[in-house]
A and B are shown apart, each in its own frame.
Chain A
Amino acid sequence: MINIPSTLKISLRALRVNKMRSALTMLGIIIGVGAVIAMLAVGTGASERISQQIASIGSNLIIILPGSTTSGGLRMGMGSQPTLTKDDADAILKECSAVQDVAPVLNGAAQIVYGNQNWSTGVYGTTPSMLNIRDWPLSSGRPFTEQDVRSATKVCLLGQTVVENLFGSIDPLGQVVRIKKVPFTVIGVLDKKGQSPQGQDQDDTVYIPVTTAQKKIFGTTFPGMVRTIMVKGKSTEDLDAAEKQINELLRQRHHIGPKKDNDFTVRNLTQIMQVAEQSTKVMTLLLGAIASVSLLVGGIGIMNIMLVSVTERTREIGIRMAVGAKTWDIRLQFIIEALTLSLIGGIVGIIAGVTGSEIISAFAGWSTIVSALSIIMAFGFSGLVGIFFGFYPAYKASLLSPIDALRYE
């Protein structure tokens, strides 16, 4: 059997003899492994951020907007023609099988007053379903109910930013605030949600029953009007079906002829985000692949040096063979040497990669995530590189004829 500790000692000695050469060879692996880890960290960081944003707007989300109007040749912007109603929302929930939940929204900016404090915020008239659709729990109090919607009760849920600005340290539950001079009782406070993908503060918001918004706050140009309808699909796979069902249903309800354009728009928010997530994943793979090329080049560097080393030490190989070294004694000696180079390079490369990604996030402001998997992969890969590129020189050494090797000058 082969004596591993002694073989390891022999290999380490050989590497120590040519310090500069060993260090430069390792540098190839260090750069390769470091680049793989840093690039994967940048990519993983980016896709993680997008995943978080998807989670924060709610999953499997579809948003329906009213269409645009044309008046005197001027086409007005999206949503300029109010066409959606709360009844549309109710019909979608009832008729579309791929839809899990629906919430109509009538929103606008409004001044909200408590005591001597006031604050301008987005007021959303909606239904209790909204909290489910946005995956948004309450931090305290209770949500409003279908009963509140039916009877247009004057109750409201406050976002964290509104609470901070109006109440400071006072408990807002049960207090009365005025929205456009109409008194509302605060029955609940929403959990903190943070920024939207567009950078808006999602916590700067007030939820009230949609009927109350229609009757008491914003008014309507026709009965039951809402600005948007939020829809939650049953699953990610169902989103396309849901979109199609909503389109058909609304065209029918809005009496749109076969060749006429829709007077509404259906947007699949989750899909848009997923496309972004997909492209980040592709980018991560691409970055990783490019970085792997440098690892490969590092491996070729190891092979190159090992071939030189075998040639230089031909006589040593001959001596070892003469005193009884077998084929695998010689092979292992050189493979272990290559492996030592690549593994030490791998360890230093991991440190370089982790430091590098810290530097990238510090200076470029990108979020980077070094995953344990990428470290294990990079280390394992550098080991494989060592064995793979060390094998040929080792194989060559083991095939030398002892007589020729002993005579080699």
Chain B
Amino acid sequence: MALIKTEDLYKIYELGDVVHALDGVSVTIEQGEFVAIMGPSGSGKSTFMNVIGCLDQPTNGQYLLDGIDVGGLNRDELASIRNAKIGFVFQMFNLLPRTSALENVELPMLYKNVSYGERKSRAMAALKTLGLEGREHHNPSQLSGGQQQRVAIARALVNDAPLILADEPTGNLDTKTSIEIMERLVRLNQESHITIVLVTHEPDIAAYSRRIIRFLDGRVVSDERREPVEAKNTMIG
């Protein structure tokens, strides 16, 4: 069964002009895929991410996430689905300020009523996976950009969501750190079979994926499957 299946998605904004942000998008993504979504700004790729991230509802069309028809769900039902099925990684990291790395990672579990002890141990484990031992009690302001993004990835993993949506995850990082973050994502995809959908406009970053979907004017213009170019020779610790 496909993890993500969209059928003729439309998203229409009427702000004076009528804007078709999504204009009939049908995409199917299987469990365990690593997909990059590319396209110039205004092409609809962000709107697409918002819809498959259950942050926004399409005007028309059907969206099945892990077999669940997301259309017509209310705010709270969408929140539950995001909590259980999706981990977000943003360009701006979006960690809570003045809150330790550990507590940031605990956040999704807080809204799932996981007990205190289990929250702590799972958050610690997730941080360890991302190589952040010893940084648990640092606030985001005390961490480097790469470390902050790793905390965000740990937060995305901690509820065992089958899907990670990464919106320009390396947009605010230097090249070396970008490579490191991408290696992390590749490894999660390969070792844990977590589906990763990545929005980027950088071909270097898209090159880590095994499938590239290109958007233009709210439509899918190309959908190519490929072998990732980079081998593991640049892996950083």
Q: Which residues of A contact B (CB under 8 A)?
A: 1, 3, 6, 13, 17, 315-316, 318-327, 329, 401-403, 406
Contact = CB atoms under 8 A, between A and B. Distances in A.
Given A329-B111, A402-B55, A324 B94 contact: no
Contacts of A1: 113
Contacts of B98: 13, 17
A401 B79 CA distance: 12
Given A322-B94, A323-B88, A326-B79, 10 more contacts: A3-B113, A318-B94, A319-B95, A320-B107, A320-B111, A321-B79, A324-B84, A324-B108, A325-B79, A327-B76
Given A13-B98, A403-B50, A406-B94, A322 B55 contact: yes
Given A1-B113, A316-B96, A327 B75 contact: yes
B90 interface: yes
Interface in B76-124: 76, 79-80, 82-84, 88, 90, 94-99, 107-108, 110-113
B75 to A, nearest CB: 6
B155 interface: yes
Contacts of A402: 55
Contacts of B82: 322-324
Nearest to B165: A322
A311 to B, nearest CB: 15
A320 B104 CA distance: 10
Contact of B111 (A325, A401, A403): A325
Contact of A324 (B50, B56, B96, B111): B111
Contacts of B90: 406
Contacts of A325: 79, 111
Given A3-B110, A403-B56, A323 B76 contact: no
Residue among A17, A321, A322, A324 with the highest chain B CB neighbour number at 10 A: A324
Contacts of B76: 326-327
A327 B94 CA distance: 20
Given A326-B80, A402-B55, A403-B56, A315 B110 contact: no
- Report whether over half of chain A's contact residues are helix, strand or loop; otherwise say mixed: helix
Contacts of B55: 322, 402-403, 406
Contacts of A326: 75-76, 79-80, 111
A229 to B, nearest CB: 80
5 contacts: A321-B79, A322-B88, A323-B88, A325-B79, A406-B90
Contacts of B108: 323-324
A402 B165 CA distance: 15
Contacts of A17: 98
A13 B107 CA distance: 15
Among A3, A318, A320, A322, the most chain B Cβ lie within 10 Å of the Cβ of A322
A320 B96 CA distance: 9
Contacts of A323: 82-83, 88, 107-108, 111, 155
Contacts of B53: 322
Interface hub of A3, A13, A319 (most chain B Cβ within 10 A) = A319
Nearest to B74: A327
Q: Which of B75, B80, B113, B155 has the most CB of A within 10 A?
A: B75
Contact of B94 (A3, A13, A319): A319
A402 B107 CA distance: 16
B88 to A, nearest CB: 5
A324 B113 contact: no
Nearest to B111: A324
Contact of B110 (A6, A13, A406): A6
Contacts of B50: 403
A325 B111 CA distance: 6
A324 B99 contact: no
A3 B110 CA distance: 7
Contacts of A319: 94-96, 107
A6 B116 CA distance: 9
A171 B138 CA distance: 85
